[in-house]
Structure 1
Amino acid sequence: MFELFKRVKTVVNSEVNSLIDKAEDPIKMVEQYLREMGSDIQEAEKATAKMMAEEKLLKMKWEEAESMVMKREEQAVQALQDQNEDLAKRALEDKIKIQEEAEQLQSLYLDASKTATDLKLKLTEMKSEYRDMELKKASLKSRAQSAKARTNINRSMSSHNSEGSKQGFKRMEEKVLRYEAEAETSEDLNASSRTLDDELTQMSTKTKMDEELERLKEKIAQQTKATNE
């Protein structure tokens, strides 16, 4: 029965990666071990309860036999006091017989008591191991999932052409840089065109202003000349 403990401890203490390399699913294995351990605990509980009942029964019979031994002793004394030696002998003969039975019952009771104690200790150990396995199950499941995830990622990385992806990304980056350079050049050209148009417009405006200025100067000169005449 208790060989199961060794199997469960082996699973829990072994490396998760080692378990994954096997065809067995470590989580399902542990769950199966827990079911088997639970069944063993139930059987152990029945055996322990049966032995404890046997212990109580033997103790009761032993105590009854001891009580009867004392009773026959008292009866033999009473018979002698009544001058009935034959009855006293018969009482003592039965006392001796019952005393032997009492000694046998005592030996059986002590053996049953020791066995019941051992079973209770082992049952407590089994239940403690079971609780430990339930607590470790969650940790084992998390570790197994983590190990599987790392394995899948590593396999993906090893099969993936990372250099090709890097080169492709670099080409796309250069292409975007060209787009940006073209956009900046276009903006510079537009700015240059706007500057030229502005200068030409200013020149046209200045020429008209000069014409108006000359016209006014000439008008003033004519008026001055007319006044002097």
Structure 2
Amino acid sequence: MSIFKRLRDLTMSNINAIIDKAEDPIKMTDQYIRDMTEDLEDAEKAVAAQIAIEKKFKQLYEEQEALVNKRNQQAHTAAQAGNADLARRALEEKKTAEGKLTEYKTSYDQNKASADNLRSKLDEMRKQLSQMKSKRETLVARYNAAKAQTEINKAMSGFSSDSATAGLKRMEEKMLQAEAQAEASNEMSAGNKSLDDEFEKLNKDQGVEDELAALMKQYEKQ
């Protein structure tokens, strides 16, 4: 399976559609983030390997390019010195180096194009992973808000102003009933005074009457 298969198959629009249908969108998003993170790590290794190959061929063709220039200069130097044999040998090695230069340059161009393509895909994967992480934060906020709203609706489903008013009225009726019972109890308690209580009250009343009579009699004499 290609390292970039997920990038081709799971565009953000496809991922969004799958997440919207998921029973738990947060868990689904976390799974995609883990998968994309693993793919990104593999892709980074693949790109690094491709870049290493690109640099190797660049080094090889630059070495042959330098050798071509060197042998060409040496051939001119030998010719100026009248040494045809040495000039010939320099030109022969120059010819061989030119062949290798062409081969290495072609390989370098091909590998550079592949590396550039992988770099582009790697940047796209990083972008999608960043978008997925941002989407997760939005999903968490929306999910928690929806969950809280559901709990509130559930709590409010058994509550209404009519039921609250009826409940308050029942409480008032019970309070009035309790107060009436307390008042009746007091009256019954007052009606059930003992004989000793009655005589004690009578004695208190008689004492007041005696004191009043004495007081009135005192002022009559004056």
TM-score range (shorter-chain normalised) is: 0.5 to 0.7
Q: CA deviation at 1:84?
A: 4.1
Q: Which of residues 203, 208, 219 in structure 1 aligns to 2:210?
A: 208
Q: Which residue of 2 aligns with 1:46?
A: 45
Q: TM-score, normalised by structure 2?
A: 0.68
Matched residue type, 1:208: D
Q: Is the 8 A contact 1:11 1:30 kept in 2?
A: no
Matched residue type, 2:16: T
Identity of aligned residues (%): 33
Q: TM-score, normalised by structure 1?
A: 0.66
Higher relative contact order (CA 8 A, sep 6+): 1
Deviates further, 175-184 or 30-39: 175-184
Distance 1:125 1:201 in 2: 110
Matched residue type, 1:144: Y
Q: Which residue of 1 aligns with 2:145?
A: 146
Query: Where does 1:20-39 land on structure 2 (aligned, <5 Å)?
Result: 22=21, 24-39=23-38
Q: Secondary structure at the match of 1:24?
A: coil
Distance 1:106 1:173, change over 3 A: same
Distance 1:173 1:89, change over 3 A: same
Distance 1:102 1:23, change over 3 A: closer
Distance 1:70 1:83 in 2: 20
Q: Which residue of 2 aligns with 1:69?
A: 68
Q: Which residue of 1 aligns with 2:16?
A: 10
Q: CA deviation at 1:179?
A: 3.7
Matched residue type, 1:175: E
Q: Secondary structure at the match of 1:137?
A: helix
1:169 aligns with 2:171: no
Q: CA deviation at 1:138?
A: 4.0
Q: Which residue of 1 aligns with 2:196?
A: none
Distance 1:142 1:84, change over 3 A: same
The structure that has the greater radius of gyration is 1
Distance 1:44 1:81, change over 3 A: same
Q: Which residue of 2 aligns with 1:109?
A: 108
Runs ≥4 in structure 1, deviation > 6 angstroms? 186-190, 200-203
Distance 2:45 2:168 in 1: 73
* CA displacement, residues 84-131 of structure 1 (integer Å, 9 cap, x when unaligned): 435534532442342243134234324433443443344344335434
Show structure 2 runs of 5+ residues with no match.
Answer: 192-201
Distance 1:213 1:144 in 2: 92
Q: Is the 8 A contact 2:12 2:128 kept in 1?
A: no
Q: Secondary structure at the match of 2:34?
A: helix
Q: Is the 8 A contact 2:22 2:28 kept in 1?
A: no
For these two proteins, the number of residue pairs brought into alignment is 206
